[in-house]
Amino acid sequence: MKATVSPADKMFESYADVVNVDTLCHMLGGISKKLAYRLLSNGEIKSIKIGREYKIPKNNVRDYLLQQELLK
């Protein structure tokens, strides 16, 4: 049986499963690094910090965007 893929699942299919801050900025339409770090440090986008670097599962980016859409 074939699983159906929603548009939300296809949104970032060309990106790696885990991205860094630079890629996050690109995924969110070119936001600044300052805003990206604020979203990560406030926990608005869930991430893992390894040393000094954030690692962000792309599913968390998708979930953040979907949540923002629901809040409208």
> Residue 71 contacts by C-beta under 8 Å, 6 or more apart in sequence?
none
What is the value of pTM for the model shown?
Answer: 0.85
Residues 39-71: tens digit of each pLDDT: 999 999 999 999 999 999 999 999 999 998 888
The pLDDT value given to residue 2: 65
CA distance 30 to 43: 20
- Give residue 6's pLDDT: 67
Token pair, residue 33, equals: 């690094």
Instruction: Break the chain into its structural domains and give their ranges.
Output: 16-71
Confidence category of residue 11, pLDDT binned at 50, 70, 90: confident
pLDDT above 90: residue 32: yes
